[in-house]
Amino acid sequence: MEKREEIIFVKKIVSGDEKAFREFYKMFFPKIYKYAYRKLQNREQAEDITSETFFKIFKHLDTYKSRMNEGLDIWVYSIERNTIRDLFRKNTGIEILPLEEKWGNVLLPPIDDPYIMIERKEIEEIINEELQKIPKQYQEIIKLRFFKKKCIREIAATLGKNEGAIKVMQFRALSALKEKVKERIKNANQ
């Protein structure tokens, strides 16, 4: 959907157009729920986050038109991401993502050999643990770029930074993660 179409679509929803509302809900509900469930690994919490996200979206939907520098999907994702962050802050303060979401199973090709599957699981656990040890801003860049498959432009819009800064942060984030993994493997071999 182009910017102009998005703005018209949003205006219809704000004005009470039920058909536009149903279309919006149908378009975004699966994405919002799926992301929340993957982040939380809990059906009830995912449902709560989905409901709260939609509540926040509709509460602030009339302000969307002033956010011309980003698409509707980026705006919606930003609201959901912040809603989930609020939940983590209230609870443990630690974000744990299943590795399938993080890497999209692109690290290794699918193989049915049980020994390779065990090895893959160990590698995933190491990466998951070491990812939690790098700075939060780096974690966010890696999650957006590789787990949500966002382009540099979309990440820049989501985080309110320029594309050059995002490229530098991505490089630093990957370097930091690489160093943590190398250190972990080195210590395991001693």
Give dist(CA 53, CA 77) in Å, integer. 9
Written out in words, the top-level CATH class of the domain with range 99-188 is: mainly alpha
Rounded Cα distance, 166 and 97, in Å: 22
CATH architecture of 3-90: Orthogonal Bundle (1.10)
Instruction: Delimit the domains of the chain by residue range.
Output: 3-90, 99-188
The pLDDT score that the predictor gives to residue 72 is 82
Regions in the chain scoring below 50 on pLDDT = 93-111
Give the pLDDT score at 98: 46
pLDDT at 103: 47
pLDDT confidence of residue 138: 92
Alpha carbons 18 and 22: distance in angstroms, whole number: 6
- pLDDT of 52: 93
pLDDT in tens, 112-153: 555 556 667 777 788 888 889 999 999 999 888 888 888 899
Q: pTM above 0.85?
A: no
pLDDT number for residue 119: 65
CA 89 to chain centre: 16
Structure tokens at 183: 């250190």
